[in-house]
Amino acid sequence: MITFEAVTKRFPDGTLAVEDLDLAIPEGEIVVLVGPSGCGKTTTMRLVNRMAEPTAGRVLLAGTDVRDVPAHELRRGIGYVIQQIGLFPHRSAAQNIATVPELAGWPRDRVRARVDELMALVGLPAETAGRFPHQLSGGQRQRVGVARALAADPPVLLMDEPFGAVDPVVRGQLQDELLRLQQAVHKTIVFVTHDIDEALKLGDRIAVMSAPGRVRQYDTPSAILARPADDFVTEFLGAERGLKRLALIPVSQVKADPGPAVPDGAPRADAVRAAEAAGTDWVVVLGPEQRLLGWVWVADVAERVDGSAAREFWLRVRAEDSLRAALDAMLSTRTGVAVRISGEDRYEGVLTRELLTEEIV
């Protein structure tokens, strides 16, 4: 969708922001440009909608040089979201969202329907439609900004540190909302941030950049964490690289261990054998159709396992959860494992620290 061919950007004062950049951004993906302040990531993004013009080289959008398209026409086809949001203070939330469709001459009914659709899509309550920006929370203002950028249904969305001005809790919520939104709209998104954790969470691909606008590594988050290209990338990833990688691996990727599982009402001898085979002093208790009832100490079993006396696994993981969530469960429970379930508490096995270690190494 977006291609940079030997692009250089030098400002009139002589500052070299981007040098000989080659980069291809696939259609329908979130590509994150990440790096320290001053590395040229925002300038690189602004070259796409001609907020900055290249000194040399070409920027292609769907195969067309962006300089061959009048700037105002180009920008109407590219959504743009910035950290300061940039809402018009004298226009309501609904009017802000309607800006580009109105400029494009859409009929009033179509504009109204689009505004309603987008407010629902980004999670804005209907009662916020008539409120002005100063009457909205930071998170709500940011959602209005995203909705406005999507209003004319552009194929490309540029996002320049859009969540940097909100608190960490709201930031996490907005990140989750963006991922959910992308599942629905499938845009090509160029996302700029200096936060490597945000990049790892959001990006289908990540371009780690250093000054002046050089890409040190361009790959998927898991590949970058597993094989940093050089010392710069390694240092920028920071500590706990293995734990960060666990956050990207779904539980479904690892085959669960059967664990010391026995049916409710099993003889004590069966519970002892299951525990000895697994090297534990407890067993998982299962009801009909593999439904998880809990766990019991083998020492507490008299003649038969009693499911009604089983202790609950307070932390459980599902296939879509990350291995980092599984590790948290292991560290937070007395059994030292993460129990994996599906559907209506159907037992699938346990994840052990040994299994997670294999994924990190």
| Token pair belonging to 208 | 């780690």
* CATH 3.40.50.300-classified regions of the chain: 2-249
Fold held by 252-360:
CBS-domain (3.10.580)
**The pLDDT of residue 142:** 86
What angle do helix axes 323-332 and 353-360 make, rounded to 10 degrees? 140
Q: Which mean pLDDT values do the consecutive 10-residue runs of the chain (361 residues) have?
A: 95 93 95 93 95 95 93 88 80 92 91 92 90 90 88 90 80 87 91 92 95 94 91 88 81 87 95 93 93 93 92 85 84 82 87 77 60
CATH 3.40.50.300, applies to 2-249? yes
Distance, CA of 141 to CA of 93 (rounded, Å) = 8
Residue 214 backbone phi and psi in degrees, to 5: -100, 135
**The pLDDT of residue 84:** 63
**The pLDDT of residue 255:** 84
DSSP secondary structure code for residue 257 in this structure: B
Residue that has been written with the tokens 């962006």 in this structure: 66
Q: With beta carbons less than 8 A apart as the criterion, state whether 46 and 213 touch.
A: no
| Token pair belonging to 26 | 């696939």
Instruction: Tell me the DSSP string of 311-332.
Output: BP-S-EE-TTSBHHHHHHHHHH
Q: Which helix (H) or strand (E) holds 192?
A: strand 188-193
**The pLDDT of residue 85:** 66
* CATH 3.10.580.10-classified regions of the chain: 252-360
